[in-house]
Structure 1
């Protein structure tokens, strides 16, 4: 699974002023990231506002990204939810042509037990035609999937190949890195911890900010993978403020504000999300102009 080592980016879904999907901007975003060194692309994740785009729009987003990518980078598709039966049905019926793996979020809202997490992902592993990257993000799901449960899944199912760990819990990251199977990937889902976790033995990141500064962020992670901590931290320090900014109010309003300053996409989001405040937009604009 070396194709998922390095920098993956969780792509936004750009919108026009009327809130329709801006496919031209999406194509531009894909090209920008491919040309600036990212290693793989993640489609229809939380950052892509998958909760508020329709099933038809999701299909169109996949088609546009597949066409723009043209086989150049591996593609990871978000397939998850808190209705296990529906997720399994999607895995049985969706066309996964040109997709290299799925990213499946831990069930949200329901707050299952650790055994519930295990049984949910067991059902997904048994149904999936593709490798699976687990996604633990307790800040959004309201329940942490423990390192013990992740490692149990990693040991029991060959097609569960990685986890995007986004609990912002260094101790849990280190427990995963220490005890994981040798070929299982620990991928940071926290932009602020991505370098530290890579240096500790992680396999890189699935990043939000990386899609706005792909050249710098990808170089930082590659330096981290090579153990060149001093050089890598020089870049980390340059990006620290903007990483804080993009999560200050909500994601993806923050990253879309950055991408608007870069003239790649608009800052439009769909309710219940709202655009970055004027105060935040001003801070972001200042950072981008100085970077």
Structure 2
């Protein structure tokens, strides 16, 4: 579980102009993050536009990232959705040999009860041969997984090792930290709240902005884990403007604009998403310049 303490990044899927996957840009992104101190990589999360990546492309992405990473960092793979049976089938059919944990999003659209959420993740845990990180993101799923459900799952299944909590709810974070088992990790899924969560006892973050500014963001989280709040908040305040900007229109359009201005990749996204507006692109460029990035 120590593999998942610190900063993980939810990798974008770079696209060429024809919207095919840009594997050269993906290589640059991975190397940039490894060289600048990120602790682990997350494949095929929301930020990776997982809902518009085909199953064949997902398989390509997994194989490619495993090859480029070459065992240097732990890898987390997103497998989740609102059809429990199909998720179990995907787990069973995916080669997880080089994957260190699954990140499984709470069922969306269907709006199950808390008991439905429990039974869903029970099935995922029983099917998974590797550790599972729960992912609660009610802003996208329309259903909050309450702390009592998360903690019930943590207590009942040894291979459910963590939750990526992304409800942007400070009270819910604190309730999870107050009631969690000692060996269960609370991972922030909110870049703007990550430092506060870490200082309160959280394990770190799965970040979006972290892949654009890996050195600065991962240093901030490490300072927080060491209890060096004053130094950590200095970085937090410097990163606040651009962290807000990347979510101003949609994710991952914002972080793809950051990667474009850093020369890592283009900013193409697949519909129904659209690229960041010119206004936001200019704001992001100025914010990066203010941070000493070009």
Give TM-score scaled by structure 2 length: 0.98
| Alignment partner, residue 109 of structure 1 | 109
| Alignment partner, residue 76 of structure 2 | 76
| Alignment partner, residue 144 of structure 1 | 144
> Which 5+ residue runs of structure 1 have no aligned equivalent?
none
| Alignment partner, residue 17 of structure 2 | 17
Distance in 1 (CA, whole Å) between partners of 2:289 and 2:233 is: 21
Q: For residues 140-174 of structure 1, what are the alpha-carbon distances to aligned partners after superposition, in whole Å with 9 as ceiling and x for unaligned?
A: 00010000000000000000000000000000000
> 1:97 offset after TM fit, Å?
1.6
| Alignment partner, residue 175 of structure 1 | 175
Q: For residues 5-24 of structure 1, what are the alpha-carbon distances to aligned partners after superposition, in whole Å with 9 as ceiling and x for unaligned?
A: 00000000000111110000
The alignment partner of 1:144 has SS state of coil
Distance in 1 (CA, whole Å) between partners of 2:79 and 2:211 is: 21
| Alignment partner, residue 98 of structure 1 | 98
RMSD: 0.5
Q: For residues 32-52 of structure 1, what are the alpha-carbon distances to aligned partners after superposition, in whole Å with 9 as ceiling and x for unaligned?
A: 000000000000000000000
Distance in 1 (CA, whole Å) between partners of 2:60 and 2:92 is: 19
> 1:92 offset after TM fit, Å?
1.4
The alignment partner of 1:51 has SS state of helix
Moved over 6 A (4+): none
For 1:214-233, what aligned pairs fall within 5 Å after superposition? 214-233=214-233
> Which 5+ residue runs of structure 2 have no aligned equivalent?
none
Q: What is the aligned length?
A: 291
Q: For residues 85-133 of structure 1, what are the alpha-carbon distances to aligned partners after superposition, in whole Å with 9 as ceiling and x for unaligned?
A: 0001111121112100000000000000000000000000110011000
For 1:56-67, what aligned pairs fall within 5 Å after superposition? 56-67=56-67
| Alignment partner, residue 123 of structure 2 | 123
| Alignment partner, residue 41 of structure 2 | 41
| Alignment partner, residue 235 of structure 2 | 235
For 1:191-206, what aligned pairs fall within 5 Å after superposition? 191-206=191-206
> 1:63 offset after TM fit, Å?
1.2
